[in-house]
Amino acid sequence: MQDFSDSVAATPLRIGVAGLGNVGATLVRILQKDGVELTKKLGRQIVVTAVAARSRSRDRGIDIAGLEWFDDPVALAKSDGIDLFVELIGGEDGPAFAAVKAALEMGRPVVTANKALLAKHGVALARMAEESGAQLGFEAAVAGGIPVIKTLREGLGSARIARVYGIMNGTCNYILTRMGQEDISFAECLKDAQALGYAEADPSFDVDGFDTAHKLSILATLCFGYEIAPDKIHVEGISKITQADIKVAADLGYKIKLLGMAQRYEDGIEQRVHPTFVPKGSAVAGVDGVMNAVALETDHVHELLLAGPGAGGPPTASSVLSDILDIARGTRVPPLGVPSQELLPYKQAPLRAHDGGFYIRLNAKDVPGALAAIAARMGERGISIESVIQRPDLHVKANAADGQPTRTVVLLTQQTLETTVRESLAQIAADGFIVGEPQLIRIELL
Ligand code: NAP
């Protein structure tokens, strides 16, 4: 275990940074620029002494001349020249996992921003840290610059959390916000997001909801004390959202947001990621563009909303830095909020009726009786339809194989089970009254 007692307070804390990309280079720049101020705050100097990346010659806008260079992040993690290892490479396995594991096994504290690594190996890494007495900080792994991990581990350490939900992916929030402000398609918004550097060249991990799912799984563990279970999440992305959906939502007093939501029930945990109708007056509806927000509902503090920048070099590096300061001060908390041997095996809650009802958009064949037949099929399964909307401006073009024209129909249901709605839609499709895949979006009464 590394010694952070008073006797070493006078000696500098030597940091090794693996990964000098967007976040890593920003962190080194901040530490080099604000070193004196940080030293005053901490009563101890923090210095970057060694770094690792793939290309030594690449210009990163930082001065690495006096720093020890490593091609191999594992060798850096084990080096005698550092006291704390920072992993900013990314990826759930590979060099990131190998280096973090190597540091923790020898009792060396680690700070990482890597949600994929945490979602896959978080429990094992927490166990390694506890066994060797090392600290493991990952504030930047969830919602970038928002201090949600610290809030859960420390500020709300004694609270019983009932539900956590939020907007945890800036790319998706940017796209949905733009679609709500301008009459443009998902594909056009995505192209702009890529041009502005808000979306990766391969955006699927973000827009298909998996990035949000990783973050949600980490938050759910900190909230409810169950093992991290990223593969037990119902995940839907935003790529099928159309202007018709956005317009109906707006007319009915909602916005569409990609929400990650985890809730504790008596019989287990429910975790979901999907586009959601949220009331315009709700706190998350006001979180637009690349901003993120996490809402925590507890038994005693009714609801807490933390909002701020969810990504980008400076906000993310600032969260990494806050973990470094905590470790330098000697703060010790179990990485996942409770000792890892106390974590419960993940238990998925059985499906239950959804209070807010559902928005359903479908392309019905424009033939007499189609709508009545659709309503009858829903009635057979006990689904109550609250309203039916048909407007020419909502028409989404669909090509029926038999050449029949179609009409876009929107149905809003009352409280019901999602599986019941899906079974009913499958039956309606089999009847031949609709063309293409229906759009199904949850309405949350936040
Ligand atoms: P990035 O810009 O792609 O940088 C990755 C860095 O890792 C690069 O410097 C790269 O070296 C280095 N690297 C890759 N493979 C390596 C290897 N085998 N050995 C040594 N170095 C290697 O990534 P980033 O955006 O900074 O993200 C870093 C981490 O922060 C990720 O886990 C990410 O999920 C997390 N994060 C990022 C943000 C954000 O806004 N960017 C927000 C929250 C969390 P070269 O430069 O030489 O290629």
HEC-encoded secondary structure of the chain: CCCCCHHHCCCCEEEEEECCCHHHHHHHHHHHHCHHHHHHHHCCCEEEEEEECCCCCCCCCCCCCCCEEECCHHHHHHCCCCCEEEECCCCCCHHHHHHHHHHHHCCCCEEECCHHHHHHHHHHHHHHHHHHCCCEECHHHCCCCCCHHHHHHHHCCCCCEEEEEEECCHHHHHHHHHHHHCCCCHHHHHHHHHHCCCCCCCCHHHHCCHHHHHHHHHHHHHHHCECCCHHHCEECCCCCCCHHHHHHHHHCCEEEEEEEEEEEECCEEEEEEEEEEEECCCCHHHCCCCEEEEEEEECCCCEEEEEEECCCHHHHHHHHHHHHHHHHHCCCCCCCCCCHHHCECCCECCCCCECCCEEEEEEEECCCCHHHHHHHHHHHCCCCEEEEECCHHHCCCCCCCCCCCEEEEEEEECCECHHHHHHHHHHHHHHCCEEEEEEEEEECCC
Domain 148-309 belongs to what architecture?
2-Layer Sandwich (3.30)
Q: Which pLDDT does position 357 carry in this prediction?
A: 93
Contact at 8 Å (CB) between 79 and 9? no
- Ligand 1 atom nearest to 56, measured from its CA: 47
CA 338 from chain centre, in angstroms, equals 21
4-142+334-340 sits in which CATH class? alpha beta
| 301: pLDDT strictly greater than 90 | no
Rounded to the nearest angstrom, the distance between the alpha carbon of 306 and the centre of ligand 1 is 26
Q: How far is the CA of 113 from the centre of ligand 1 (A)?
A: 9
For the cut 90, the answer to whether the pLDDT of residue 147 exceeds it is yes
* CATH top class, domain 358-443: alpha beta
CA of 18 to the centre of ligand 1 (A): 8
The reported pLDDT for the residue numbered 159 is 84
Q: Which residues contact 431 (CB under 8 A, 6 or more apart)?
A: 373, 377
Taking the CA of residue 144 as reference, the ligand 1 atom at the shortest distance is 43
Q: Give the atom of ligand 1 at the shortest distance from the alpha carbon of 20.
A: 9
Read off the pLDDT of residues 113-134 as tens digits, 9 standing for 90 and up: 999 999 999 999 999 999 999 9
- The residue nearest atom 48 of ligand 1, judged by CA position, is 54
> Do you know the residue count of the chain?
446
Summarize the confidence of residues 140-160 as an average pLDDT: 91
pLDDT at 103 over 50: yes
Atom of ligand 1 nearest to the CA of 94: 18
Q: Is 78 a catalytic residue?
A: no
pLDDT of residue 246 exceeding 60, the answer is yes
Taking the domains of the chain in order of start, what are their residue ranges? 4-142+334-340, 148-309, 358-443
Higher-scoring residue by pLDDT: 272, 353:
272
In this structure, which residue's CA is closest to atom 38 in ligand 1?
Answer: 311
Q: How far is the CA of 192 from the centre of ligand 1 (A)?
A: 23
| Per-residue pLDDT tens digits for 383-431 | 999 999 988 777 777 776 777 788 899 999 999 999 999 999 999 999 9
* Residues with C-beta less than 6 Å from any ligand 1 atom: 18-24, 52-55, 58, 73, 88-90, 95, 113-115, 140, 144, 311-312, 316
Tell me the pTM.
0.94
What atom of ligand 1 comes closest to residue 117's alpha carbon?
Answer: 32
Band of pLDDT at residue 156, cut at 50, 70 and 90: confident
Mean pLDDT of 260-276: 96
Atom of ligand 1 nearest to the CA of 89: 7
Q: Specify the pairing of strand 358-365 against strand 434-443.
A: antiparallel
Band (pLDDT 50/70/90 cuts) for residue 41 is confident
Q: What is the pLDDT of residue 7?
A: 47
pLDDT at 343: 97
Residue ID of nearest Cα to ligand 1 atom 3: 21
| Catalytic option among 78, 215, 232, 255 | 215
Task: Give the rounded percent of residues in the chain with a pLDDT score beyond 90.
Answer: 82
Instruction: Using pLDDT thresholds of 50, 70 and 90, give the confidence band for residue 158.
Output: confident
Confidence of residue 107 (pLDDT cuts 50, 70, 90): very high
Task: Please classify residue 201 by burial: count the beta carbons closer than 10 Å to its beta carbon, then call 0-12 exposed, 13-18 middle and 19+ buried.
Answer: exposed
> Per residue in 178-237, pLDDT tens?
999 999 999 999 999 999 888 888 899 999 999 999 999 999 999 999 999 999 999 999
pLDDT digits (tens, 9 = 90+) for 356-370: 899 999 999 988 899
Ligand 1 mean position, distance from CA 21 (Å)? 5
pLDDT band at 1, cuts 50/70/90? Answer: low
Please give the distance, rounded to the nearest whole angstrom, from the Cα atom of residue 14 to the centre of ligand 1.
Answer: 21
* More confident site: 398 or 323: 323
Percent of the chain with pLDDT over 70: 97
Among the residue ranges 178-182, 197-201, 257-261, 328-332, the one predicted with the least confidence is 197-201
Mean pLDDT score across all residues of the chain = 93
Query: Which range (113-127, 227-241, 255-269, 292-306) has the least confidence?
Result: 292-306
Nearest CA to ligand 1 atom 1: 21
Dihedral class, residue 333 (left if φ above 0, else alpha if ψ from -120 to 50, else beta) = beta
The tokens of 379 are what? 């009635």
What is the whole-number distance in angstroms between the Cα of residue 222 and the centre of ligand 1?
Answer: 25
